Amino acid sequence: MNFRSCTFRQIFTLFFLLGAILSLSSCKKGDTDVIAQPIAEASEINKGINIVSIDAAIDRTRIKAGKTAKITVTGLQANGQTRDVTNASSFTITPSESATIVSGGESAGLLTGAGEGTTQVTIDITYAPYSVTAIAQVGISVSDLEPTHIEVVAASENTNRACEAQHFTAKAIWESNGIVDVVDDNFTSEVTWSRSPETASLFSSVTPGMFASTTAENILYTITGKYEPTSEGANTLSGNLDVTLTPLSADMGAQLELEDSDGNQDSKTIDVLEEEVQFFAFLDLDAEEEKIDISKLVTYEITTNPDSATLSSTGLLKTKEEVGNTSVKVKASCSKLSDEFTVDITDDAIDIHIEDEDEKPTPSTRKPGDEVTLMLVIIDSEDKKEEIVASEWRKKSKTVQADFNIDFTSGEKEAVIVLDDDSDNEGKTATIEAVYKGFSYEFVINITEDGAAVTSTTSSTQ
């Protein structure tokens, strides 16, 4: 090895690792963890990913007892990059009776307020997995005082255009004698959101404060965040913000694009027994920017041959079994934008039947006690065969049946037929039906003493 070409860090790390390995060879089994840590630290130093300092942030300014706040710890690496080290940090609360905190795991850094009155809580954070210790500190007020008023604020990325998400946040403000004592900027999840008028608009049920409108006209909305205090005798607080949303149109360079789950944008062909077609809608504002998924905001409708299929409000198209060769046109609309998609439906060259584990169709000859695995298959016009899921496997009614059981789990593609091990079953038949999209398909099992075929038996499929 040419030591002259090595940097000081590389030479230091090499001798550090060599000494650690020699020490490890002479250690007892219980001492190996003590040696492993310096090796891991030396490896991080060599890669430049060792943490040299940490910074901590807390997402709330004041919480009540039982409410939570989240602390995030970010470590600065020697190479200038950062990474989340919350899970590897330890936390000390002062005073300890005013809050509890989770260390380690997915909920690391989750702080819960405790006690009565108003207390300023300090959280000291330490990151020290190796020989170097990094520290940080954050503070929060734990108080049973209710806010004096609520303020609704529009997020900076708001565009005030229809068909785009509008984000609003709520601030809680504690004020005494005309002087603001505390402001909590992250009160968004503590309030109930509403808007007026409700015309052509909705609030997200998943993301607090996210609002969208499908309006095709200029509409002035009043956005309200209402807080219901839990303290006895406290008044309900509300914050309001007026926002005017303008419609989107093709003249503004906006475009709505309707796609199916396979990425087709104009049309596709399916057979009448295909499960379904899921549509997605995207808003394209700029060819250079990523499209915005507005699938949950648009209005879907079937504009051509609406009796041939059903279409849900979430864009799920399902064909009806009784239709023949036809096509339907699906339209998605939002504000002044729309797009259409054509689905051609065919029932040509479709064969559906039941096969056994040897891929043989009905009938089959077996002996008492046998187990027969059956599956429903579909063969398309190109002779491609695929197993499909039957909604039900059952004994055919109004027929003299042999004794048998059907072992079938909903959603599975196979059913196991268990013939009774009884000589009384000899000479009888077991007729099984599989149900798929309202149609039933039969499979006949002839039962003989030794399972050898005797007389050919036919079955009907309807």
**Listed residues 280, 311, 346: the one ending a domain:** 346
Same domain as 230, residue 297: no
Residues 298 and 362 in one domain: no
Last residue of a domain, one of 247, 262, 283: 247
Report the CATH number that the domain containing residue 319 is assigned in CATH. 2.60.40.1080
Q: 320 and 305: one domain?
A: yes
Domain count across the chain: 5
**Would you tell me how many other CB atoms lie within 10 Å of the CB of residue 80?**
8
Looking up residue 158, the CATH number of its domain turns out to be: 2.60.40
Number of H helices, E strands in the chain: 2, 35
Same domain, 7 and 68: no
- Within a domain: 380: yes
Considering the domain boundaries, does residue 273 fall inside one?
Answer: yes
- Same-domain check for residues 20 and 99: no
DSSP assigned state of 266 = S
37 lies in which domain range?
3-47
Q: With beta carbons less than 8 A apart as the criterion, state whether 434 and 440 touch.
A: yes
Cα end-to-end distance, the chain, whole Å: 81
Torsion of CA 127, 128, 133, 136, to 10 degrees: 10
- Residue 11's pLDDT is what? 52
- 460 domain residue, yes or no: no
Residue 127 lies in a domain: yes
User: Last residue of some domain: 300, 317, 346?
Assistant: 346
Q: 283 and 302, same structural domain?
A: yes
Residue 149: per-residue pLDDT: 94
Retrieve residue 3's tokens. Answer: 């030591």
278 vs 274, 313, 325, CA distance in Å? 12, 11, 20
Residue 11 lies in a domain: yes
Q: Are strands 134-143 and 62-63 parallel, antiparallel or unpaired?
A: parallel
Shared domain check, 134 and 87: yes
pLDDT at 287: 62
CA nearest to 353, candidates 447, 430, 445, 439: 439
Low-confidence ranges of the chain (pLDDT < 50): 3, 24, 29-30, 455-462
Q: Are residues 290 and 213 in the same domain?
A: no
208-252-290 Cα angle (round to 5): 55
For residue 452, tell me if it sits in a domain.
Answer: no
Within a domain: 154: yes
Angle between helices 32-47 and 8-25 (to 10 degrees): 170
| pLDDT at residue number 46 | 82
Laid out side by side, the sheet with 429-436 consists of: 364-366, 439-447, 429-436, 392-395
Q: What is the pLDDT of residue 49?
A: 85
Do 341 and 272 reside in the same domain of the chain? yes
Do 37 and 85 fall into the same domain?
Answer: no
Query: What is the three-class DSSP state of 45?
Result: helix
CB 60 within 8 A of CB 45: no
What is the spatial distance between Cα 405 and Cα 363, in angstroms, rounded to a whole number?
18
- Position 456 in a domain: no
pTM attached to this predicted model: 0.62
Question: Do 384 and 310 fall into the same domain?
Answer: no
Residue 17, pLDDT score: 53
Residue 371 confidence (pLDDT): 93
